[in-house]
Amino acid sequence: MIMEPIVGLIRRFVVEFFNGHNADICREIMEPDYTLRVGDTIISGRDEQYRPAVQSQFDQFPGLGMTVHGLITNGEQLALHFSEHGASGGVGGKVACWSGVALYRWNGVHFTSCAAQEDYAARRRQLRGAEADPIAEPASAPWDTAAVGSDPTAEALVRLWLERGGGSATDGILRDDEHLGLAAPLVFVVEQTEVTELFSAGSEVAFQVKQLGRYVSGLAEGAGSDRLVALFSAGIVSVVDGSVSSGRVIRDRAGLLRAVTAA
């Protein structure tokens, strides 16, 4: 086998569709009812909603590109850690780089759905005047990733970790842009957890989660609140010796800010 079939499909997504800005590729790699879930937003229908949504990003960032930093798959599902980067308005525009995590499902031929989260709060910070964030190191050979069987034990450990809040700012997990030292760590007290997507490839586990809780601090424009609000996240973490030891998590801080500042 030269390439895992599902990896070959995501390669076409990244190289031909996204970096090539060729929307026609969607019809070759996605089912007509393809659905994207980002936070509490659902974009359903490849041609009716998904392609116009991505095209609006291409219009805003004419040179928009994607760099893959990590990829895992068990052959049935696949997850990417990536960055998107480009200049708003094209040449001479404000440059931004923001990270994301996306989990894909397929039916053996085409992608059927994606559960993702992108760091739109970091993008907004850069477009408002900050210097562009550095692009993390690219994966050396993402398209040569081999499928690894699922590990139910690792999945159970990550579910428990999420139910207990998903760790803290000092546990070695890279969250959003906090590791760049550009923002105070987000403090959010989790009270309820709903795991909306989760799968493993060996000891690596990818997830999307909705957590209800109370915001304490970390959003520059939002004061702490006693109201119960939702925080959506997606991540890829590694389980070593029975505990979550490393990984990348992207949280919907932009959506959280809207929630805590809503009347």
Which domains does the chain possess?
5-144 (3.10.450.50), 152-261 (3.10.450.50)
Q: pLDDT tens digit string along 201-240?
A: 999 999 999 999 999 988 877 677 788 999 999 999 999 9
Q: Closest Cα partner for 211 from 36, 72, 40, 95?
A: 40
Q: Closest Cα partner for 83 from 62, 60, 67?
A: 67
Q: Closest Cα partner for 208 from 90, 41, 49, 38?
A: 38
Phi then psi dihedrals of residue 69, to 5 deg: -105, -20
CB–CB of 101/249 below 8 Å?
A: yes
State the Cα–Cα distance between residues 151 and 231, nearest whole angstrom. Answer: 27
Distance of CA 235 to the CA centre of its chain: 7
Note down pLDDT in tens along the chain; length 263 residues. Answer: 689 999 999 999 999 999 999 989 999 999 999 999 998 899 999 999 999 999 999 999 999 999 999 999 999 999 999 999 999 999 999 999 999 999 999 999 999 999 999 999 999 999 998 799 999 999 999 999 999 999 999 999 999 999 999 987 668 899 999 989 887 889 999 999 999 999 999 999 999 999 999 999 888 776 777 889 999 999 999 999 999 989 999 999 999 999 988 85
Phi then psi dihedrals of residue 5, to 5 deg: -55, -45
Q: If you write DSSP's letter for every residue of 18-40 in order, what string do you get?
A: ITTT-GGGHHHHEEEEEEEEETT
CB–CB of 119/253 below 8 Å?
A: yes
State the Cα–Cα distance between residues 207 and 236, nearest whole angstrom. Answer: 7
Burial of 132 (0-12, 13-18, 19+ CB in 10 A): middle
Q: pLDDT tens digit string along 6-20?
A: 999 999 999 999 999
Q: Closest Cα partner for 10 from 74, 83, 96, 68?
A: 68
What count of other Cβ atoms lies within 10 Å of the Cβ of residue 32?
11
CB–CB of 207/238 below 8 Å?
A: no
